[in-house]
Every structure is written in C-alpha cells, then in structure tokens.
Amino acid sequence: MKEKELKAKPGMPVLILSIVLYIAAIGLIVLGDILLENERNIGTLPLVVGILWLIVGFVPFFGLKVLKPNEALVLTVFGKYTGTLREAGFYFVHPFSVAVNPAAKTKLGQSGDVKTAKQAITISGESTKVDIDSLGKRVSLKVMTLNNAKQKVNDCLGNPVEIGIAVIWRVVDTAKAVFNVDNYKEYLSLQCDSALRNIVRIYPYDVAPNVDTTGDGEPDEGSLRGSSEVVAQRIKDEIQSKVTDAGLEILEARITYLAYAQEIAAVMLQRQQASAIVDARKLIVEGAVGMVEMALEKLAKNNVVNLDDERKAAMVSNLLVVLCGNRDAQPVVNSGSQY
C-alpha cells in the first residue's frame, strides 16, 4: 500500500459554522418554548429542530483535526484507507474518519521521542516505554535516533564481542509504516538487531591474517576496530534493505560501543600488551644495533683503539646489554690494564 495525500478542507470555517448553528439551535429552542407558552402550535417545529441539532450537532466537531509541523495523520473511514494529512494546520475531514497508528503508544526507551512513561516493557532486549495516557494517533515525521542496547556477538574468529549502534531514521511513507507492519518501531528495533549480528560476524575485532571481509575471495585488513565507518555503512545498508517495505528511511548508523566480552577481555588485554611489548623491543633492538655499528665505525675511523674480533664481540655484547636492558647500567671501573 502506498501513501496518498488527503486534500482536506480548512477547519476554521467549519468550526465557526458549527458554533453558529449551535447558538441558532439554542435560539430555536427558546423561541419554540415562548411560542408554546403563548399556545401557538407553530412553536413545536423550531423546538424539535433545535433539540435535534443539539443532539447531533456535535458530530462535525469529530472531523476537526490539528496538525503540528512534521506530523501526519493516517485516516480511515469504516476500515478503508482514505489518505494521509501531512501539512501542518487546522483541517476538517470526514467526521467518521479514524486515525490509525499501531505504534502510537510505543516509545523506544533510548530514542529521540522518549517521554515520561507509566509502564515499561522489553522488546528484543531493549528497554521500551509505553505511555498509557497517550491517546494521540499522529505519526511523527521527525528524524529520530534509536540507540539499541549492547549485544554480545561472535566475530568471524569466534571471539565474543559486545557492540552497540545508534541508528538515525525517519518515516517517509506513512501508509506503509502503519499498514504493512504491525508496529514499525518494534519492527525497526528487531531489524537493527538482526543486521548488526549479520555484519559483525563477517569481521574480526582486530586485523587478522587470511580473513576476507569484502567477499572478493582475497584477504584484506578489514576489522571492527579499524574499519568502523565501513562496518557502519554496511549495517546501514543492511537495515535499509529490511525496512523499506515498512516506509522507513535509515539516514545514518554509527557504532557507539565496541569491546571484547568480559570473559575474554583480560586475556585479550594481555595479548595486546604482549604485542605492544614485542613491537617496542623490536624498535629498541634496531636502535641498539645501529648505535653499536656507529660506535665501532667511529672507533675504527678515529684510531681510538684497535680491537680484535674477540674484543669486538665482547664490546658488542656489553653495549647491547646496556642499550636493551630495562634498568640503568651499573658502571664498573677497571683499575688494571685493558687486557
């Protein structure tokens, strides 16, 4: 079902006319009563007309609708979809028009449309608010944010990862949102969970060898931590493909939380620390070897001292110990001869 815009009449003239008719009905009742008191049968007609209008005259008021900017009303008459009011203003529609919005009372717990609620329920692991006092059936066309709860998902290497996303979305087709799915907010939340799991399973947390994340059959350096923008774009596209039939548009998706699960976080931290220590040691050794080479070259070039291979080996060993050690070297003064 596609949305069609409803051409409604301005509401102010109808409101004024209804009020005037109510006043006229009261006047007819008073006039009829006066005529009956004067024993004139002609007073019966205005009295009956006035009473009938007082009984049914409130019906046109049901057709008066007020819309604020970025709001819409999906209207049906006796179960048939008649159209959607989108423009802000004061309108008059069919008095028996009924606004439909199954998601009117559903407030996503961390969404941009949160209000004070009376009761909370849980939908797909996410805190969801239900405003019992809300009677409005308006469909919000505003840009809203859905911040789904953190999920525990295994990456492509089987490591449990906790990840959370924020999805910025809006309703673009009110008829699809209302009639194609039971509750478009719940539907969006479930599709976000599913898309997140589908994409995270493709990537490792950190860059890993022999892992293909693009599907071209060639290993690449994609990872959740290093390719967050690419991952977020793929999540956005995955969600959009699922919610198009619900009349929703996904404007942006961003990863808001990413970490190893608690059960392996300590082990992975040790692994990262060990990797950092190894990288630092490599840099220290490379620098120490360069300094030893420079020292030997300077000594030989300036003829400071002539060293045989055995003495050079000892000197290299001592210099590497001093330069690569974790602690400061303790000097030893040789009071005897050099040899």
Whether residue 104 contacts residue 136, with contact meaning beta carbons closer than 8 Å, is answered with yes
Which pLDDT belongs to residue 84?
92
* Cα distances (Å, whole numbers) of residue 312 to 45, 271, 317, 319, 328: 129, 38, 8, 10, 22
Query: What is the third-level CATH fold of 139-260?
Result: Tetrahydropterin Synthase; Chain A (3.30.479)
Q: Return d(Cα 164, Cα 326) in angstroms, integer.
A: 41
Which pLDDT belongs to residue 139?
92
- Residues facing 95 on adjacent strands: none
Q: Which of 118, 121, 173, 111 is nearest to 145 (CA)?
A: 111
Q: Which of 21, 25, 11 is nearest to 67 (CA)?
A: 11
* Cα distances (Å, whole numbers) of residue 50 to 24, 60, 266, 314: 8, 16, 83, 120
Q: What residue ranges of the chain have pLDDT lower than 50?
A: 110-135
Helices (H), the chain: 11-37, 44-56, 174-179, 184-200, 228-243, 262-301, 309-324
In degrees, rounded to 5, the angle at the alpha carbon of residue 82 between the alpha carbons of residues 77 and 84 is: 120
Which pLDDT belongs to residue 337?
55
Which pLDDT belongs to residue 116?
36
Written as one string, the DSSP assignment of 56-97 is HTTGGGGGEEEE-TTEEEEEEETTEEEEEE-SSEEEE--TTE
Which pLDDT belongs to residue 156?
86
Helix/strand/coil for 292: helix
Which pLDDT belongs to residue 74?
93
Whether residue 117 contacts residue 108, with contact meaning beta carbons closer than 8 Å, is answered with no
Task: List where CATH 3.30.479.30 sits in the chain.
Answer: 139-260
pLDDT digits (tens, 9 = 90+) for 278-331: 778 888 888 888 888 888 888 778 777 777 777 778 777 877 777 777 666 666
Which pLDDT belongs to residue 39?
63
Which pLDDT belongs to residue 53?
85
Q: Which residues contact 188 (CB under 8 A, 6 or more apart)?
A: 146, 167, 169, 239, 243, 246, 248
